[in-house]
């Protein structure tokens, strides 16, 4: 990837992570929206056709690492499951909940870029 292409990806959401919306820090990642599925053992990938500029999203390191080789919907589902895991395995979380420090909501997992699309839609309607 050229420096220019990397800059285009960075500018896509004004220097913010496409998923969580945080300000991108040095060492930010270029995510493949539709995964390329890397074969770590020989450096090849299973879907080289997904190696296009349109398929790149700017991502903070932690979102990119969590998303891994998943589609957007698999990534969304994984995030949803975190609450179940916390309830099953984290004593600290269960205590924080019991004492009212943490409250669960039933909100949908929305990615930052999806909220932007919504704002644009609202502008067109309004
Ligand atoms: Zn992020």
Given this model, what pLDDT does residue 46 score? 86
Proportion of the chain above pLDDT 70, given as a percent: 92
| pLDDT for 124 | 59
What is the predicted pLDDT for the residue at 125?
A: 56
Ion ligand 1: residues, CB within 5 A, are: 17, 19-20, 60, 63
Sequence-distant (≥ 6) Cβ neighbours of residue 79 within 8 angstroms = 66, 109
Q: Would the pLDDT of 74 be above 60?
A: yes
pLDDT of the residue at 118: 64
- Percent of the chain's residues with pLDDT above 90: 75
State residue 62's pLDDT score: 97
Q: Is 102 exposed, middle or buried (0-12, 13-18, 19+ CB in 10 A)?
A: middle
Residue 57 alpha carbon to ligand 1 centre in Å: 11
* CA 30, 35, 41, 42 torsion-angle sign: negative
The pLDDT assigned to 40 comes to 81
CA of 52 to the centre of ligand 1 (A): 21
- CA 12 to ligand 1 centroid distance, Å: 14
């Amino acid at each position: 990837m050229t420096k220019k292409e990397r800059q285009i990806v960075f500018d896509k959401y004004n220097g913010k992570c496409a998923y969580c919306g945080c300000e991108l820090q040095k060492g930010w990642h270029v995510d493949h929206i539709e995964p390329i599925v890397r074969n770590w053992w020989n450096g090849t990938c299973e879907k080289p056709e997904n190696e296009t500029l349109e398929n790149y999203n700017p991502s903070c390191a932690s979102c990119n690492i969590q998303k891994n080789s998943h589609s957007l919907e698999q990534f969304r589902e994984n995030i949803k499951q975190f609450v179940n895991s916390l309830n099953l395995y984290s004593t600290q979380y269960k205590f924080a909940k019991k004492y009212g420090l943490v409250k669960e909501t039933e909100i949908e997992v929305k990615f930052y870029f999806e909220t932007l699309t919504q704002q644009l839609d609202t502008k067109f309607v309004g």
